[in-house]
Amino acid sequence: MVTGLYIAAKLISLCTDPKSSRKFCLRRQLKPNKKIAKIIAENLVEDGATIQLGFGRIPYEVTNQLRGHRDLGVHAEMFSEGIVDLVNLGVVNNRNKTIRRGRIVASYTIGTEKVFDFINENPLVALYDIAWVNSLEVIARNPKVTSVNTAFEIDLTGQCAGDSLGNCIYSGVGGQIDYIRGASLSIDGRGRPIITMCSKNSAGESSIVPFLTDGSGVVATRAHVHYVVTEYGIAYLFGKNIRQRAHALINIAHPDFRESLEKSAFDRLKTMPSP
């Protein structure tokens, strides 16, 4: 266990590199990201929530949109400098958490020197083994667990490709499914698992698709997904049938693709998507 300290005596080995390996910045934001983050902060994150923000520009921007919130806590696989800003503003104080009340709980951090200066010898930060931090039972014991994670694609039934697109693997699976499940089972019944993405990818194609690209891995199944957010709004999928899911997702797709998605949904379902 590490509690916000660099304890040299406990290191097994140490490698040095003349190049800085500690700086990683996600500050550059696109307009849709800011709109998505605003939708999430204003509609899905309650005061007193225990938050987990995944890696990426949208989760990072969510921290900028949470500056008017109160009494947030952090229990997450990782955190970045956006959380540091919320601590300094008094937004994150961890006072309502059940697990390690008063402290940020995570397994690792990523960001610039600002993050590492913050955690160094800081008793407010507790870094634990990831197997414990991401344990479903542990996550769910916190109140109002609100997880925000990204996906590359989501199909019309709610399946999410979060680590790969086609045969190209971009990352590991990470803790996405742990926090989706943990939030959905939050002890007070007020957790909110959120998947988010821009309505268009970098190639200008729809991120909401009839079928996932061949070869894409399903990280979050349609049985687990609750909230999906794009810059066009929120789709709530949990407990809905396939026809209703398709309708909700088409409504938050980019307008340029809604007609073709409706046609694809009809071809797949043999009926029109409907609420």
Residue 48 to residue 27: CA distance in whole angstroms? 26
Confirm whether 77 is a catalytic residue.
yes
231 three-state secondary structure:
coil
Residue with token string 């396939």: 242
Indicate the helix (H) or strand (E) that contains 275.
none
Q: Report the Cα 185 to chain-centroid distance in Å.
A: 16
266 three-state secondary structure:
helix
Q: CB count, 10 Å around CB of 67?
A: 13
Q: CB count, 10 Å around CB of 77?
A: 23
Contact between 20 and 147 (Cβ < 8 Å): no
CA distances from 78 to 16, 106, 107, 109, 169 (A): 23, 5, 6, 5, 21
Task: Assign residue 102 a region (left: φ > 0; alpha: ψ between -120 and 50; beta: otherwise).
Answer: left
- Candidates 46, 61, 77, 153; catalytic one: 77
Active site residues: 77
